[in-house]
Amino acid sequence: MSETVSSVAAGREFLAIPGPTVIPDAVLQAMHRPAMDIYAGPMVDLTDTLLRDLKRVFATSGRCYMYAANGHGAWEAALTNVLSRGDKVLVLESGRFAIGWGEAAKMLGAEVEILPGDFRRAVQPDQVEARLRKDTKGEIKAILVAQIDTASGVINDIKAIGEAIRAAGHDALFCVDTVASLGCVPFEMDKWGVDVAMSGSQKGLMTPPGLGFTAAAPRALEAHKKANMRTPYWDWTFRDGPVHYHKYCGTPPEQLLFGLRAAFDLMFSEGEANVFARHRALAEATRRAVAVWSEGQTFDFNVTEASERCDTVTPVITRGGESAQALVDYCSVKCGVVLGRALGKTEGRGFRIAHMGHVNAPMLLGTLSAVEMGLKALRLPHGSGGAAAAIDYLAGAVPA
């Protein structure tokens, strides 16, 4: 009988959760610096370059803003700058996070309507158009949607939704959450007619949690002038002030900003098109593995339509609703691989494999191998050879 060992987790832990993601060494090194003058010198130059490059990342000629905040803070920044109390917002459901954004809007004083969706499907643009055509009085002032929802694993077609809004002839502001997509998949704010976009630092932008971002197109800036939800900290007008201090409404998070600078430099050095291609390849490799495992009739993709599966995270569910916690625990305790737990309507009966940000082939293949190792060790029914299928795909996608 072969020797057994209690764990093979010693060594560097693999973080395969959809945020915070793996932080590159270059980003950590850039952050390792003392505090500095916040009123002049390098900090002012740094702010200028970051605001410039945020426009590049959001693909907008509009204005960008940075906050010491996480994504939930950026949600609030987006809402309070363009809405007034009592305004009606339409939330497009396709997972958990647009719903959360709507809950924030309700607490801030907005009237919230949810366009019901399916936790396993993307938003259907024709349904958006149909709802807006019924709003003949123009009561809906803003539309909230997530480009990628990390709970469901859905990617929404933001371009098509924008076209649906315009086809309906509606003036509602189009507001998009890009926390789980920015820096990983294409996002064209201006070309797609997005009025407000928001994001955070801790996923595709490869920086520790703590920075939130908003981007505002001309229609959003015009709505801002009349909004009465505005508060001092989030306010765009204050942050457009002439003094560097105004850009952060106080002391800037210096070390995080230097980290973001390094992350942008890594992204631009690789080239955005190559970054997107890498994410597509690693996502497809993951899907090849899951497709094989699903042959055991126990596990399946959460997202039912292949074209609606995102390139940053793959949620896997149990078909019968059984718990997948034993597999998640095995990967963590026995292998040193931390998988994402299922959220929302799949909570307790699945897991998520993240493949976003600073991730490459050996990191992903190590994660997939640990999952398959856990499936075998726990004797969970599954198709054998998922990790091999991922290797086969990548070998063809990355030629010699």
Same-domain status, 234 and 383:
no
pLDDT at residue 379 greater than cutoff 80: yes
Residues 299 and 192 in one domain: no
Of 221, 237, 268, the position where a domain reaches its end is: 268
Whether residues 240 and 307 share a domain: the answer is no
CA-CA distance, 122 to 305, in Å (whole number)? 9
Residues 263 and 355 in one domain: no
The domain containing residue 237 runs over which residues? 25-268
Map tokens 């950590």 to a residue: 28
Percentage of the chain lying above the pLDDT 70 cut: 100
Tell me what the mean pLDDT of segment 206-229 comes to.
99
H helices of the chain, in order, are 25-31, 42-58, 71-82, 97-107, 125-134, 158-167, 218-224, 236-239, 254-270, 272-293, 325-329, 361-377, 386-397
Residue 10 falls inside a structural domain: no
Report, as an integer, the average pLDDT of 154-172: 99
Instruction: Output phi, psi for 9, to 5 deg.
Output: -85, -10
157 and 299 co-located in one domain: no
Region 235-259: mean pLDDT is: 96
Whole-Å CA distances, 179 to 2, 119, 125: 47, 18, 21
Give the mean pLDDT of the chain.
97
Indicate whether 245 and 312 sit together in one domain.
no
Same domain, 184 and 59: yes
Dist. CA 194–CA 174, nearest whole Å = 5
In tens, the pLDDT along 167-192 reads: 999 999 999 999 999 999 999 999 99
Residues 375 and 262 in one domain: no
Token couple for 286:
């993951």
Under 8 Å between Cβ of 88 and 109:
no
Query: CATH no. for residue 205?
Result: 3.40.640.10
Residue 15 lies in a domain: no
Q: What is the mean pLDDT of residues 222-242?
A: 97
Question: Measured between alpha carbons, how far is 66 from 86 in angstroms, rounded to an integer?
Answer: 27
Q: Give the pLDDT confidence score for residue 40 in this predicted structure.
A: 84
Q: Is the pLDDT of residue 1 over 80?
A: no
Which one of 211, 233, 268 terminates a domain? 268
| CA-to-CA dists, residue 143 to 118, 122, 199, 307, 358, angstroms | 18, 15, 16, 23, 31
| pLDDT reported for residue 2 | 78
Neighbour-count burial of 320, counting CB atoms closer than 10 A to its CB (0-12 exposed, 13-18 middle, 19+ buried): exposed
Q: Are residues 256 and 167 in the same domain?
A: yes
Query: Which one-letter DSSP state was computed for residue 235?
Result: -
Predicted pLDDT at 39? 87
Per-residue pLDDT tens digits for 65-106: 999 999 999 999 999 999 999 999 999 999 999 999 999 999
- Order of strands, sheet of 88-92, starting from the edge strand that comes earlier in the sequence: 63-68, 211-216, 196-200, 173-177, 140-146, 88-92, 111-115
Query: Which among 268, 296, 316 is the end of a domain?
Result: 268
Residues 221 and 282 reside in one and the same domain: no
Domain count, the chain: 2
Q: How many helices (H) and strands (E) would you count in the chain?
A: 13, 14
Task: Indicate whether 133 pLDDT > 80.
Answer: yes
In the structure encoding, which two tokens stand for residue 378, read together? 């726990």
| Cis peptide bond upstream of 20, omega within 30 | yes
Asked whether residue 262 falls in the same domain as residue 341, the answer is no
Short-list 169, 204, 213, CA closest to 23: 204
